[in-house]
Amino acid sequence: MEDSARARIRSSFAAQTMMATLGAELIEIDAGLIRIAAPILPGSQQQQGFGHAGLTFAIGDSAAGYAALTMLPPDNEVVTAEIKINLLAPARGDRLVATGRVVKPGKRLCVVTSEVHAEHNGASTLIAILQGTMVPVPA
């Protein structure tokens, strides 16, 4: 990937105020693969004190969306048409890491998946998988 493409993704990510609210960071940008990490902030919890499904979803969906964007020409953004999440284990630990991947790129539709792991005391547990469709739109 060119530096300009990476810069474009960083700039779009920085414009998502929700990512800042959740403390999320873009930690890897490659062609067809994006990683986003986020702590489980005091303000991101569900009723049992684990990370909220909304947190897991938000970084999983964003990682998948930006993975799609890495495959598109510079004048595009993407929006999520639909995405499904299966939650496998509580979001417990020091931080969550979402890895988004492109399964099938396309100009009309881009099919993506995402995995979210929770890191806790040096171990990493798969807590969610997502499968969805991103739609390119003009930037």
Q: What is the contact surface with a copy of itself in residues (CB under 8 A)?
A: 12-13, 15-18, 20-22, 42-48, 52-55, 57-58, 61-62, 77, 79-90, 103-104, 108-109, 111, 113, 126, 129, 131-133, 135
CB of 121 to a copy of itself, least distance (A): 20
CB of 28 to a copy of itself, least distance (A): 19
CB of 21 to a copy of itself, least distance (A): 4
Nearest to 125 by CA among 101, 93, 100: 93
CB of 1 to a copy of itself, least distance (A): 19
Rg (C-alpha) for the chain, rounded Å, is: 14
- Residue closer to a copy of itself by CB (options 27, 85) is 85
Are 68 and 94 spatial neighbours (Cβ–Cβ below 8 Å)?
no
Alpha carbon separation from 61 to 27, 54, 79, 101, 112 (Å, rounded): 15, 10, 10, 11, 9
Are 136 and 81 spatial neighbours (Cβ–Cβ below 8 Å)?
no
d(CA 114, CA 50): 20
- Residue closer to a copy of itself by CB (options 25, 45) is 45
- Residue closer to a copy of itself by CB (options 45, 95) is 45
